[in-house]
Amino acid sequence: MEVNGDGYNVVTPWNLSQVPGRNKYFLTGRRVTSYPTIQLSDHLDFRGLMKMIEHISPQEILVYHPEGDRASLLAHHLQQCGMETTSLDLIEEFVR
């Protein structure tokens, strides 16, 4: 995506160091990181996530979870509901 000539990269936290440039941010609910953070709550359960998605009606959804296959399972469910969705782990597989 290009905005005013500035590029944006979306990567998992463990690959952030590989992204060129100095303007890097870590979206997290955690406090311990060497990068500047954009704080968000990462503790919603399935019903909470579905309620939030219904409320904001996003055009596209990117799902992330650091463990297991939860993100891809939720992404698959949202796709079955007709939403444009992918999970960050699938992006990582595509880029490699």
**Per DSSP, what are the bridge partners of residue 28?**
39
C-beta separation of 11 from 92 below 8 A = yes
Q: Map residue 81 onto helix, strand or coil.
A: coil
Q: Where are the domains of the chain?
A: 1-42, 44-96
**DSSP per residue over 7-75, as a string?**
E-----GGGGGGS-SS---EEES-S--SS-EEE------HHHHHHHHHHH--SSEEE--SSTTHHHHHH
Q: Please, which pLDDT band fits residue 81 given cuts at 50, 70 and 90?
A: very high
pLDDT in tens, 19-73: 777 777 777 766 677 777 776 666 678 888 898 888 888 888 888 877 788 888 9
